[in-house]
């Protein structure tokens, strides 16, 4: 499975249809559109022709019996794992193949200017560059766009080690937290029914279970604190000011800090009830701020700066992929940008516009740690210290925690410390899920080396929980290595149904792990 530097074929996608390009050295041309691939760098230019995308194909044979491991566009949705080639369609960002003789990988370096995916044929591998600006073609107007840099690997190491090395090769400049991230988040015990008093109580329990001195825990205030929540049915958005359950956010941040806990706050940057003359767009997700608009970006930066001014030390921002695309994970795979609206700036690709949004949030956040949720991992790497790498776990449904939590931890773990700190989501400690189940998820996260957040229901906090949290926080607070799922390829699996297609598939949830304490941990999820 060797990679050929020079593509064999390029096809442009335009509103008028598809067109094969004519080769000239390292370049491929059609009308006034040109694609060049040199030393892995893929550039695209066009003077007048609007572009939807391009397909770049290499002559590479992948053995039909090879196992393939692919990524997802943003968070994962319980479907990651090693599968037969026939089970894959388009694979976002990167993939690895293993045929028993080694592990090979194809991908693109982080922060590309196109949405990049791969398809594997009998004798070919194709890179699909989605160059759309929302649901419109991009108008480059003579500009040369560096669409992406292709990265490949061929390794004799075990597949997990090869995947880790590949992620490191795709990101040369991750922005990582100064210290391991752990602590509390109220979502899975409150689900929006939070308040100033409930947050302080939660923070006290986090402080009680945390090591004395050294790296301090966080207490993240999640959705439910904002002024206009449910201003109309289902509205979750700004302006990012407190409602009467919370009152003075500066006082709340100060009270949490006085407990020896670092305050954090959740926002949804692209949703607001405020009026901006030229800052909105419509998509399948409804009306939201247009991240290609300078006035919208200025507004978002003002909101983030206000949070920082209140004294919060971590910003969790959410929903940006959904607000732009109108879709969540399973629906994204079919056509990521098909539900997008019309950006006001037609000269940049969606990927460039998303990068501009992330850059604005990063600049406004200053020295706050930033945790992205529903963000595009390949575009956020280098901007944010941490990323929620999977869809929501649960404080109500154990199977969902295994599907969304264990699966994403296992199969996004190679990105941890390579792209960002990979947060597989919270441990919901409630009476609705048996403690003996929840305790396993807590133990695994605590020895994984990844961020550990817990949601502690007031009626579930007893001596056994306190003892387990104290041990778990003690492990999570200190710098350590990263765990490894020992049954990564041939993992325990259970049936799940894809909500987008209705198709049943096997959700992989490894049960045997080598923790960062160098001990083998075995779990029985069901």
The set of residues, in sequence order, having a beta carbon less than 8 Å from that of 42 and lying 6+ positions away, is 35, 36, 56, 127, 129, 146, 147, 148, 149, 150
Instruction: Find, among 78, 175, 164, the residue nearest to 483 by Cα.
Output: 164
Q: What is the pLDDT of residue 232?
A: 85
Measured in degrees and rounded to the nearest 5, phi and psi for residue 69 equal -125, 120
Provide CB contacts within 8 A for 447, sequence distance 6+: 475, 483, 513, 515, 516, 517, 519, 521
Mean pLDDT for the chain? 95
Cα dihedral 431, 432, 437, 439, rounded to 10, equals: -40
Q: Is the pLDDT of residue 4 over 80?
A: no
Query: Structure pTM?
Result: 0.97
Provide the b/e sequence for 375-396 (b: ≥16 CB within 10 Å): bbbbbbbbbbbbbbbbbbbbbe
**Residue holding tokens 């199969």?**
411
- Look up residue 366 and give its two tokens: 């200053």
- Where do the domains of the chain lie? 9-170, 182-395+461-482
| Percent above pLDDT 70 for the chain | 99
pLDDT at residue 249 is higher than 70: yes
Matching residue, tokens 């407990």: 259
- CATH for 182-395+461-482? 3.20.20.70
pLDDT tens, position by position, 356-373? 999 999 999 999 999 999
CB atoms within 10 A of CB 93: 22
Between residues 501 and 203, the one the model is more confident about:
203
**Rounded to an integer, what distance in angstroms lies between the CA atom of residue 133 and that of residue 111?**
16
CA count, 13 A, side-chain hemisphere, 95: 29
Would the pLDDT of 151 be above 70? yes
pLDDT tens profile 205-228: 999 999 999 999 999 999 999 999
The answer to whether residues 424 and 445 touch, using CB atoms and an 8 Å cutoff, is yes
Q: Token pair of 304, please?
A: 């983030």
d(CA 78, CA 63): 26
Per residue in 44-56, pLDDT (tens digit) is 999 999 999 999 9
Work out the angle between the directed axes of helices 463-476 and 435-446 (0-180°, nearest 10). Answer: 10
pLDDT over 80 (residue 1)? no
The predicted model gives 284-310 an average pLDDT of 94
Q: Looking at residues 96-101, what average pLDDT do you find? A: 89
- Indicate whether 2 pLDDT > 50: no
Percentage of residues of the chain with pLDDT beyond 90: 87
């Amino acid at each position: 499975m060797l990679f050929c530097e020079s593509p064999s074929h390029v096809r442009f996608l335009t509103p008028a249809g598809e067109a094969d390009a004519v080769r000239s050295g390292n370049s491929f041309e059609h009308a006034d559109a040109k694609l060049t691939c040199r030393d892995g760098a893929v550039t695209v230019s066009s003077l007048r022709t609007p572009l939807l995308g391009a397909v770049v194909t290499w002559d590479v044979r992948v053995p039909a019996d090879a196992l393939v491991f692919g990524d997802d566009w943003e968070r994962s949705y319980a479907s990651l794992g090693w599968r037969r080639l026939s089970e894959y369609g388009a694979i976002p960002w990167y993939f690895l193949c293993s045929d028993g003789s080694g592990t090979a990988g194809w991908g693109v370096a982080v922060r590309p200017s196109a949405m990049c995916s791969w398809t594997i044929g009998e004798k070919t591998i194709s890179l699909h560059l989605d160059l759309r600006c929302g649901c419109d073609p991009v108008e480059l107007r003579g500009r040369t766009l560096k669409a992406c840099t292709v990265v490949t690997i061929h390794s004799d190491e075990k597949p997990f080690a090869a995947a880790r090395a590949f992620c490191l090769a795709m990101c040369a400049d991750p922005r990582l937290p100064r210290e391991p991230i752990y602590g509390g988040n109220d979502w899975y015990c409150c689900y929006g029914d939070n308040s100033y008093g409930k947050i302080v109580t939660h923070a006290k329990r986090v402080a009680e279970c945390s090591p004395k001195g050294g790296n301090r825990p966080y207490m993240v205030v999640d959705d439910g604190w904002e002024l206009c929540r449910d201003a109309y049915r289902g509205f979750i958005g700004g302006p990012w000011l407190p409602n009467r359950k919370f009152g003075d956010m500066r006082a709340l941040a100060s009270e949490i800090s006085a407990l020896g806990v670092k305050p954090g706050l959740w926002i949804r940057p692209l949703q607001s009830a405020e009026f901006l003359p030229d800052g909105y767009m419509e998509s399948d997700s409804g009306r939201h701020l247009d991240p290609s608009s300078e006035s919208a970006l200025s507004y978002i930066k003002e909101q983030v700066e206000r949070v920082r001014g209140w004294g919060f030390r971590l910003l969790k921002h959410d929903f940006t992929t959904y607000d732009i695309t109108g879709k969540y994970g399973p629906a994204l795979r079919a056509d990521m940008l098909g539900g997008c609206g019309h950006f006001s700036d037609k000269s940049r690709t969606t990927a460039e516009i998303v990068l501009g949004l992330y850059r604005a949030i990063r600049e406004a956040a200053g020295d706050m740690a930033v945790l992205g949720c529903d963000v595009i991992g390949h575009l956020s790497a280098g901007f944010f210290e941490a990323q929620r790498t999977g869809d929501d776990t649960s404080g109500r449904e154990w199977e969902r925690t295994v599907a969304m939590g264990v699966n994403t931890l296992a199969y996004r773990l190679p990105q941890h410390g390579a792209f960002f700190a990979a947060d597989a989501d919270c441990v919901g400690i409630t009476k609705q899920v048996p403690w003996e189940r929840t305790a396993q998820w807590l133990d695994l996260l605590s020895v994984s080396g990844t961020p550990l957040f817990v949601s502690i229901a007031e009626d579930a906090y007893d001596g056994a929980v306190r003892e387990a949290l104290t041990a778990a926080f003690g492990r999570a607070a200190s710098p350590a290595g990263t765990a490894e799922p020992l049954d990564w390829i041939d993992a325990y699996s259970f049936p799940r149904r894809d909500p987008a297609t209705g198709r049943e598939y096997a959700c992989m949830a490894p049960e045997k792990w080598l923790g960062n304490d160098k001990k083998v941990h075995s779990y029985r999820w069901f």
